[in-house]
Structure 1
Amino acid sequence: MKPPLTDLPIPTADKGFYSGFSVNVTVVSKIIISVLVVWCIFWPVQAGATLGAWNSVILNNFAAWYIWVVALFVIVCLGLAAWPPGGRILLGKPGDRPEFSNFSWFSMMFGAGIGVGMLTWAVAEPVAHFQNNPSVIQGLTTGGSADNIRTAYVWSFLHWGVGAWACYAIIGLALAFFAYRRGLPLTIRSALTPLFGKALSGTLGHIIDIVAVVATILGVAQTLGFGVDQFVAGLTRIGIGGLVHPDGATDAAGASIAGSVNFIGIIVALAFIMGASTLSALSGVGKGIKWLSNINMVLSIVLLGFFILFGATWFGATALVVGLFDYLLALPYLSFNVYRSDGVEGSEAFLLAQWQGWWPVFYWAWWIAFAPFVGLFLARISKGRTIREFVLGAMLVPGLMCCVWFSWAGGTAIDLELNGGASGVIFDAANGDKIFAMTEFMLAPIAQALAWGMAVLIVVLLMTFLVTSADSAVLIVNTINAAGDEGPKARPHILFWGAALALVVGGLLLSGGTSAIQTAMVIGALPFSLVMVLMCFALIKAIYNDVRREAKGVPTTYDEIAGEATT
């Protein structure tokens, strides 16, 4: 057997404004994002209508694709970790050791990978599924009743469990493998070298990296869009007014928009979030991002501890244990099941297919669009770990942490509504406001100051999650544009992508709220999902061949190959 490919030259500019960057990838990515921003800001109605039409086409024709590819990612990740010779392979050269402690490693994974969305949906999603899910549609359980609690948690755990983290892990594993064992550039195209070889130095590789950059911006925009809604809800709760539409406000079509974020709220939230994240990005991974990640992990533990100790303690514990049992039993079926519409609006088949488009398909698209950013970030912080350690640490531990959050945060909300006399205070609040409504209901009767203080803590935690996600995304986009160079990037490019991300979120919010961001993200995730499928086969081929090479004494890492060539 021959040694593997350890050289993938990617042309970069050697002088000028784009010095050190791949001009083809950087310029085309900037043009695509700029066109999207201009379209959404200056023609918001047309943009919203067009995005909605495209979204319908994708959901009608590619729902099964999204469901099945995520199942593939789970199988590949667990299979590689369980395979004895493959799982022992080090993501690096012999003797490499992890750069970050386990606590910082978990903190950065959790903060960048899922923190913002989890803070919104840990309460909102169990509540939503408690009120409606496929079992309710089929008449097997009753929405809003105790017999629907277990089903609600099955779907919540499905969306935030191993499937979500498998999307991240497959990219992180592939990039870490090829960057730190092969010495290839830390960029998306490198993960496909077993399939396409040096052809990735040219146009094919540029296209792959451009697709990854666009998917990253749209995936992070989805997270920040939810974050802006919740951040403004929190600011309103602590007494900062003028950021939401007043009672009685309507849009151009006459629909009520009372309580939703207004233009001033969008500007204030994005200016604050992106300003802080850009400053953090300028400081790099080892400083600002690491410290922010540690801070938000500590605050998360404090907030979660509050729900465990003072919320529905027994309800949450039961939801976690029983929910995990039900989830693991249902996982094989739910990973492959696709609801097919019969085309009759209002029929059971139609409603099931519609619900699956709203929830599982949306989530799988979100995780796929978010995957190039989180995956590359995971690779960046995981050098020196084995494949088995990486998969277990990057897939199972964060997934379990999400289940813990959903059990006690969402469980407290459901228990307060069923048994605590909340009487719709939590259920009727907007998704981003549910966690604030719940903590205020719990603490205001004791002392209003406590309720206000808890709202401040949640706002600070949300802020650190948002900043961690945004600044990590800016650094990752620059790494892809710089042909995998992890070193310092030119400040103007960091500032550009920070501003571009803010404008994408703002433009899409103006053209149709978070639903417009959701639609753009689902569209952007589709081409990148194909890249991820190819990445699975490339990774399996590479690891299988490395196991064979090691058995025959053929070098497998770039330093071994270089040393053999020298001798």
Structure 2
Amino acid sequence: MSKIRKLKPPLTELDINTKDGGFYNGFSTAVAVPAKIIISILVVWAIFWPIQSGAVLNGFNAFILQNFAAWYIWVVAFFIVVCFVLAVWPAAGRLNLGLDHEKPEFSNFSWFSMMFGAGIGVGMLTWAVAEPVSHFGSNPETIMGLTTGGAADNVRMAYKWSFLHWGFSAWACYAICGLSLAFFSYRRGLPLTIRSGLTPLFGQSLAGILGHVIDVVAVVATILGVAQTLGFGVDQFVAGLSRIGIGGLADAEGAATTTGIIIALTVIMGLSTLSALSGVGKGIKWLSNINMALSIVLLGFFIIFGATWFGFNAMFIGLWDYVLALPELSLTVFRSDGVEGSESFLLAQWQGWWPVFYWAWWIAFAPFVGLFLARISRGRTIREFVLGALIVPALMCFVWFAWAGGTAIDLELNGAANGVIFDAANGDKIFAMTEFMLSPISEWLAWGMALLIVVLLMTFLVTSADSAVLIVNTINAAGDEGPKSRPHILFWGVALALVVAGLLISGGTTAIQTAMVIGALPFSVVMALMAIALLKAIYNDTRREKAGVPTTHDNIEGATGNGLAPGLGVPAE
């Protein structure tokens, strides 16, 4: 018998032990309980021993940046390559992320809205202005003396690096996770949880301790990744509330006070919990559509009334520079010579502050966004998923950076703003810019724009938080999306708020960044294995199709007695 004829159907059952009753009814206590313990310890440690926890976290962070910076850079480059291969590989691209007859549940507009809102939409309101401005002042080219910080010759470099951090690399991380989960859950019938993506490599052993550890790592990474997003968002939300006249929430330097943090998190997490209880098809879908519509209004304002031509040039010239430089930018690792202040030291330090931090953020965010993308992408082909999830949201990010950030740079370059935007805190820059643009026309118009940004920011934050709570519960429930997970929505909503509050109060956003970089490291290994497993599974499925062996769970379940080769009913990769 030929090698092809000996192929057996893929694994379509993974029996993860869950509780049959009690508080944890329907949940895998081997995942839910350890994850809750780890997060609880982190919260208590950060709040009650802030100095000790800060010192330990910073020590771990320095160790990771010194020893694993190259790993973060190269593993994300690997994710981009895998996405490209899957999109252009004919046998892979045509596969449905579901059964062959299934169609998408959501329209393209809702699909893109939910992807962008749950992915990195909230980051646009902080970093679309702040990041181009920051790179305009300093980047590797300025460190090497090739361009001048704050001068016109540095504009293109500012956009090249901004596009790198928020472009295809970020969405490749999300796409790998989402593709893996959708493929193995909806085609293979496996549980909608992270461990299912590794079945081609580890098989039934994932039903035990190995699988539990993988899912716990995913839950912790998700909480820390979303905490990072909420941490930035809370600072900006408080800045926005101050701009519309709600005082007492920020100190003299514009940083959120403890009272401001608590009030902001109470509003955001309260609304997000209510939205999560209504599910993806109702609350999250409508919130995503609302924030997409408000985003278009705000972006339209920058394009029409901001630096229109400057933004146009930044968009297309920056995109050209970015695409041409992407291979080099994705693989270059700056190594320090250990001499503080030297060029190599500064380059390595800059890479740790920016690309390594971002890659850790996107990897930590990937279990949440990936599982969410899988849930809303059932019925789409792999090629459609890759092109939709990789290109469209990335282009939306580029447009935001080009016109929002471009307007800020142009106003400062021509001397009109005179430091008003550059001197503002990162979260306050977009408010400072819109106020500068609109106050001469009407104070009420400036106030109204600040209110619109606050509402938009709140909807983005609520969408991210409620999606994260649902995703964590799905992982804890061994992939079950049913109503039995709903009593735990309240727990994870409170837990997420406490993680953000504890780390912000004890060490600010730096503490969250450090915890997130550390938490992302083990999950980056899981994601690399997921990418390898996905390639292996699709390759084996192409061989199965040639041999007439079923590849989807509905066909495998009906294969017994169909005259197929002996042993066909024994699952194996």
Distance in 2 (CA, whole Å) between partners of 1:118 and 1:524 is: 24
Q: Does the residue aligned with 1:167 lie in a helix, a strand or coil?
A: helix
Q: Within 2, Cα distance between the matches of 1:566 and 1:46?
A: 64
Deviation of 1:16 (Å)? 0.4
Q: Match for residue 301 of structure 1?
A: 296
Match of 2:80 among 67, 74, 84: 74
8 Å contact from structure 1 (residues 186, 483) kept in 2: yes
8 Å CA contact 1:73–1:170 kept in 2: the answer is: yes
Q: 1:379 aligns with which of 374, 377, 401?
A: 374
Which residue pairs with 1:46 in the alignment? Answer: 52
- Offset, 1:415: 0.3
Shift of 1:400: 0.8
Q: Could you say which residue in structure 1 is the equivalent of 2:181?
A: 175
- Flag structure 1 segments of 5+ consecutive residues without an equivalent: 247-257
Q: 1:24 to 1:357 in 2, by over 3 A?
A: same
Q: How does 1:488-567 map to 2 (within 5 A)?
A: 488-565=483-560, 567=562
Q: Which amino acid aligns with 1:63?
A: A
Letter of the structure 2 residue corresponding to residue 332 of structure 1: P
Written as runs of structure 1 = structure 2, the 5 A alignment for 1:152-167 is: 152-167=158-173
CA contact (8 A) 2:25 2:484 kept: no
Over residues 185-215 of structure 1, what are the superposed CA-to-partner deviations in whole Å (9 max), with x where a residue is unaligned?
Answer: 0000000000000000000000000000000
Matched, 1:398 2:403: no
1:149-548 → structure 2 map (5 Å cutoff): 149-246=155-252, 258-419=253-414, 421-548=416-543
**Which whole-Å CA distance do the structure 1 matches of 2:546 and 2:395 have between them?**
36
CA positional deviation for 1:552? 1.8
3-state SS in 2 of match to 1:547: helix
Partner AA of 2:400 in structure 1? W
CA distance in 2 between counterparts of 1:459 and 1:493 reads 29
CA distance in 2, matches of 1:460, 1:302: 12
CA–CA separation in structure 2 for the residues paired with 1:325 and 1:430: 30
**Aligned partner (choices 26, 29, 33) of residue 23 of structure 1:** 29
Query: In the alignment, is the contact (CA less than 8 A) between 2:225 and 2:361 conserved in 1?
Result: yes
TM-score w.r.t. length of structure 2 = 0.96
Aligned to 1:111, which of 117, 123, 140? 117
Q: Is the Cα–Cα contact under 8 Å of residues 31 and 212 in structure 2 kept in the other structure?
A: yes
1:58 aligns with one of 38, 56, 64? 64
Q: 2:567 corresponds to which residue?
A: none
Structure 1 residues 454, 190: closer, same or farther in 2, change over 3 A?
Answer: same
AA at the equivalent of 2:270:
G
C-alpha distance in structure 1 between counterparts of 2:486 and 2:318, whole Å: 47
| 8 Å Cα contact 1:69-1:533 kept in structure 2 | yes
Aligned-residue sequence identity (percent) comes to: 78
**What secondary structure, in the 3-state scheme, does the structure 1 residue paired with 2:282 have?**
helix
Other structure's SS at 1:564 match = coil
Write the letter of the residue equivalent to 2:405: G
CA contact (8 A) 1:478 1:489 kept: no
SS of structure 1 residue aligned to 2:515: helix
Shift in Å, 1:566: 5.8
Q: CA deviation at 1:417?
A: 0.5
Partner of 1:253: none
Contact 1:41 1:511 in 2 (8 A): yes
Q: What letter matches 1:419 in structure 2?
A: N
The equivalent position to 1:84 in structure 2, one of 72, 86, 90, is 90
Q: What letter corresponds to residue 65 of structure 1 in structure 2?
A: W
| DSSP-derived class of the 1:565 partner | coil
| TM-score with structure 1 setting the length | 0.97
Q: Provide the C-alpha distance between the structure 1 equivalents of 2:99 and 2:476, rounded to a whole number of angstroms.
A: 25
Deviation at 1:490, TM superposition (A): 3.9
Q: How much has 1:491 moved relative to structure 2? A: 3.6
1:116 shift after superposition: 1.0
Contact 1:24–1:206 (CA<8 Å) still a contact in 2? yes
Contact kept, 8 Å, 2:165 with 2:355, in 1: the verdict is: yes
In structure 2, what is the equivalent of residue 251 of structure 1?
none
Structure 1 counterpart of 2:417, which letter? Answer: A
Q: Which runs of 5 or more residues in structure 2 are unaligned?
A: 1-6, 563-573
Shift of 1:553: 1.4
Per the alignment, residue 249 of structure 1 pairs with none
Instruction: Tell me what 2:4 maps to.
Output: none
In the aligned structure 1, how far is the partner of 2:18 from the partner of 2:257?
42
Query: How many residues are matched?
Result: 556
